[in-house]
Amino acid sequence: MTISKYCASGNDFLIFHSFLEQNRAKMAIKLCNRFYGIGADGMVVLLPYENKDSESREIAYKWEFYNADGSFAGMCGNASRAASLYAFHNKLATQNHSFLSGTGIIDTSITEIVDSKHAYVQSNLGEYTLQGNVVENRRGNVYEFEHIIMRIPHLVYFATSMKEFNLLSNDLEFLSHLRHKYDANINIAIRENDKIYYATFERGVENITQACGTGACAVYVSLRDFSKTYTLIPPSKERLQVFYDSGLIYFSGLVTKVCDCII
């Protein structure tokens, strides 16, 4: 079989399509391993989807999404953009299409085709939900995180200095503690004018990833400034543009086809 590897702003995914719906957790663990497999943050399987008469829009496909540890996730923002470009490359969908994720319908748009392997892709992540704040103590310091549901749960903390940002984003023990206590992705961010630097400790990867799409959107929501587009900069330095329109959160960035792998 052939599996394609795509990278969305630093998040990398293994993607293929199938007619068979099944549990592929063990396969995801094996193939996402960066030493004995191909290596990726997650694995995506695109499956046929029959539209129901009651739906007002056409759904191109549905997906199975697995984290690198084999756990199933309903949604991954950057994976939605990678899957969109894969579907377009393989003639499974048009340049603008919708698909069914575990958290509902996602609308995607390939806004600019750079060449045969690179394109800018936008995803509509929909509405957000505010869950209040949580307070945590760490080595005598008090940190207040905002709990936001952006398809999946996120905690967001804005650092007051780059020193604090680096300290927290490198404190993997603390981030892992928060991730398991609240069953959420943990985001540390810092604002510099209209640019936001952020790092996300992701469930299923259990580490800081090079980028996180839903994390970028959760950080944007935490700003409470929906009047303009913000540039979100993850560890990969590949910038994401996040904006708000009519109650919905959109984000876009570069997606790259890395290679095809014969398994």
Over residues 153-166, the pLDDT tens digits come to 999 999 999 999 99
Does residue 98 sit in the same domain as residue 7? yes
pLDDT bucket at 52, cuts 50 / 70 / 90: low
Is 64:33 a contact under the CB 8 Å cutoff?
no
Does residue 112 sit in the same domain as residue 145? no
Domain count, the chain: 2
Q: Residue 160 belongs to a domain with what CATH number? A: 3.10.310.10
101, 127, 97, 91: which is closest to 109 by C-alpha? 97
Does residue 206 sit in the same domain as residue 118? no
pLDDT digits (tens, 9 = 90+) for 102-152: 999 999 999 999 999 999 999 999 999 999 999 999 999 999 999 999 999
pLDDT digits (tens, 9 = 90+) for 181-211: 999 999 999 998 888 999 999 999 999 999 9
Does residue 14 sit in the same domain as residue 113? yes
- Tell me if residue 221 falls in helix, strand or coil: helix
Does residue 144 sit in the same domain as residue 257? no
**What does pLDDT average to over the chain?**
95
Q: Tokens representing 240? A: 């994401």
Rounded CA Rg of the chain: 18
Does residue 115 sit in the same domain as residue 203? no
Q: Which of residues 92 and 54 earns the better pLDDT score?
A: 92
Does residue 132 sit in the same domain as residue 215? yes
How many residues are recorded in the chain?
263
Q: Please give the full DSSP string across 144-205, using - where no structure is assigned.
A: EEEEEEESEEEEEEE-SSHHHHHHHHT-HHHHHHHHHHHTSEEEEEEEETTEEEEEEEETTT
* Per-residue pLDDT at 53: 47
Is the pLDDT at 213 greater than 50, yes or no?
yes
For residue 249, list its beta bridge partners: 126, 244
Question: Which residues does the annotation mark as catalytic?
Answer: 76
Count of Cβ atoms closer than 10 Å to residue 12 Cβ: 26
Q: How far, CA to CA in Å, does 184 sit from each of 73, 100, 210?
A: 12, 22, 17
- Tell me if residue 228 falls in helix, strand or coil: coil
Is 68:41 a contact under the CB 8 Å cutoff?
yes
pTM for the whole structure: 0.93
Owning domain of residue 175: 128-244
Q: Tokens representing 32? A: 């996402």
* Dist. CA 5–CA 39, nearest whole Å: 9
Beta strands in the chain (DSSP E): 2-8, 11-17, 42-47, 62-67, 96-101, 104-113, 118-126, 129-138, 141-150, 152-158, 185-192, 195-202, 207-208, 230-233, 240-245, 248-262
Does residue 151 sit in the same domain as residue 238? yes
Does residue 256 sit in the same domain as residue 183? no
Count of Cβ atoms closer than 10 Å to residue 22 Cβ: 10
